[in-house]
A and B are shown apart, each in its own frame.
Chain A
Amino acid sequence: MIRLDGVGQVFDGREGRVTALEKIDLHVRGGEFVTLIGRSGCGKSTLLRLIAGLLPPTSGAVQVAGEPVTGPRRDVSFMFQRPALLPWRSVLSNVMLPVEIDKGTGDRGKAAYRDRAHQLLELVGLQGFERRLPHELSGGMQQRVSLCRSLIRDPQVMLMDEPFSALDALTRTELSEELQRIKMELSTTIVFVTHSIEEAVLLADRVVVLTPRPGRMREVVDIDIPRPRSLGQNAHLTEVAAISGQLHALLAEKESGEVRPVDEVRPR
């Protein structure tokens, strides 16, 4: 579904050229859930933007569904760290935004999408909140709306950039488990960026560990734990522990002295 061949990305920063990504070769199969994990500044968000077509790669080729990526695609949706809801739109109208922007949808199509939006909102437990404005919702609820918005057009590929990292720990676990549940019902291919080992182990079929500066693929770890997985009371505690330990070791290894200022937690 997604193919990256020798992808590299170089930025011209104020202090000269910065190689954000180097020699990335990755093939994500249809319906697969792949997690990109790494420290701050390892280029994982950049990688996601390359797949999304928000950024052209400096070198190498990016393909989605067998076609080279030249810009944002209709069947690829992007979910951000922050909910990115339009504050003047109701919950329902925020979920419908992608449909509204895409002028190709007729009235009948729109009605069908509206039904779908109600369905999705129900799926994440937000029925009854359709007419509320974003500021009336908690952070977790806002991110659920954002999730519905990225699902509204039944995307082939969903790209998620640390979508739960701005939430408190409990809400975060809740949403990860919800995403897992939703994923089990859909055939969507998901690439999910995180720096949480826990999230990666809970959600992924495969975890790609990236090294920082320049971002390179260090290791790809398969996770064969049967689903549904859960944090805490779990029948596969030993496997979870083993894989978590392995990921931890991979991330901790060969730490370069340079630590970039934490750009993961932007002020609200």
Chain B
Amino acid sequence: MTRRTMPRRTWLTDSPVAAVVLPIIGLAVAIGLWWGATIAFSIQPYLLPSPWDVVVKFFEQPGYLLQETGTSLLETIEGFLLAIVIGVPIALVIVRSVVLERLVYPLLLMVNSIPKVAIAPLLVIWMGFGQWPKVVMVLLMCFFPIVISTAQGMKSTPTELVELMRSLNASRAQEFFKLRLRYAMPQIFTGFKVAISLAVIGSVISEFVGATKGLGYVIQQSGASADTTLAFAAITLLSVMSIVLFYALVLLEHWLLPWAREKR
């Protein structure tokens, strides 16, 4: 539909194989450069371990590291889901009422502008050493993009579609569910995708303070014992987790909103 001038289409832009192969090549090149640097400049492992060192480190204690990954993953997902459960309804309410929007918006901005690291210790004081301060931290991290994108999406309904629903005598509920919410879904998903990466960061931050489990805790401990390789192993696992979660959302969107693909 859009008649913008598109970049030239070739096998590299269109084939599904290339869509998988290209990111892998990018990653491989980056790892190669890293490896090359450690060899070329003979960098000490406590400063920068080589990729191979990191892999070896992982296989020294795979069970332990995977278990910690599981802990962080669970916190991330719990916090993320909680952010959806709380954030989406708040956005829906904000969109309905200008008064509420004006009341709540500065508050949201304020909460969002606080450096989350600063309140990590406070969350521990308020909620103890269990998983709650972690989940809440994740929630705080991903709440804002979800609210913003949902609100934006709900406001983006084209006027002619609203008028169509009116001309068909649709009830408010029908207009909401059959039109506005559906129309907002691609934008809501954009918010989810931004939020999921932040969620992972949130879980790590919270595990730096008052934690005894999780990859953040592993990183912090490895710093104390100058075990840089272990820190790298944990960081790699975090990246993998982040990437997997992100693409899981992309797949879900692809599957739930096949109609939105053409709009990009």
Q: List residues of A whose CB falls within 8 A of some B CB.
A: 52, 54, 71-74, 77-78, 80-82, 84, 86-88, 97-98, 100-102, 133-135, 268
Q: With an 8 A cutoff between CB atoms, is B182 at the interface?
A: yes
- Which residue of A has the minimal Cβ distance to B3? A268
Q: With an 8 A cutoff between CB atoms, is B161 at the interface?
A: yes
Q: What residues of chain B lie closer than 8 Å to A86, measured between beta carbons?
A: 161, 178-179, 182
What are 15 A-B pairs at a CB distance below 8 A? A54-B167, A72-B166, A74-B169, A78-B163, A86-B178, A86-B182, A87-B183, A87-B259, A101-B168, A101-B169, A101-B170, A101-B174, A135-B259, A135-B262, A268-B2
Are A133 and B165 within 8 A (Cβ)? no
Q: With an 8 A cutoff between CB atoms, is B107 at the interface?
A: no
Q: What is the bound-complex CA distance between A81 and B262, given in angstroms?
A: 22
Q: What is the bound-complex CA distance between A88 and B260, given in angstroms?
A: 8
Are A98 and B259 within 8 A (Cβ)? no
- Which residue of A has the minimal Cβ distance to B2? A268
Q: What residues of chain A lie closer than 8 Å to B182, measured between beta carbons?
A: 86, 88
Are A88 and B168 within 8 A (Cβ)? no
Q: In the complex, which range does the number of interface residues on chain B fall in? A: 20 to 34
Q: What is the bound-complex CA distance between A106 and B178, given in angstroms?
A: 19
User: Which residue of the partner chain, among A54, A71, A102, A135, contacts B1 with CB atoms under 8 Å?
Assistant: A135
Q: List residues of B whose CB falls within 8 A of some A CB.
A: 1-2, 158, 160-161, 163-170, 174, 178-179, 182-183, 257-260, 262-263
Are A77 and B161 within 8 A (Cβ)? no
Are B164 and A78 within 8 A (Cβ)? yes
Chain B contact surface mostly = helix
Q: What residues of chain B lie closer than 8 Å to A74, measured between beta carbons?
A: 169
- Which residue of A has the minimal Cβ distance to B161? A84
Q: How far is the CB of A252 from chain B (nearest CB, A)?
A: 30
Q: How far is the CB of B6 from chain A (nearest CB, A)?
A: 15
Q: What residues of chain A lie closer than 8 Å to B262, measured between beta carbons?
A: 135
Q: What residues of chain B lie closer than 8 Å to A134, measured between beta carbons?
A: 259
Q: What residues of chain B lie closer than 8 Å to A102, measured between beta carbons?
A: 168-169
Q: How far is the CB of A212 from chain B (nearest CB, A)?
A: 22
Report the 8 A-B pairs with minimum CB-CB distance, sorted nearest first.
A78-B167, A88-B259, A135-B262, A84-B160, A84-B164, A72-B169, A101-B168, A87-B259
Q: What residues of chain B lie closer than 8 Å to A54, measured between beta carbons?
A: 163, 166-167
Q: What is the bound-complex CA distance between A98 and B179, given in angstroms?
A: 13
Query: Can you name 13 extra interface pairs (CB under 8 A) apart from A101-B165, A101-B168?
Result: A54-B163, A72-B167, A72-B168, A77-B167, A78-B163, A78-B167, A80-B164, A84-B161, A88-B257, A88-B259, A101-B169, A101-B178, A133-B258
User: Which residue of the partner chain, among B161, B167, B179, contacts A52 with CB atoms under 8 Å?
Assistant: B167
Q: How far is the CB of B249 from chain A (nearest CB, A)?
A: 18
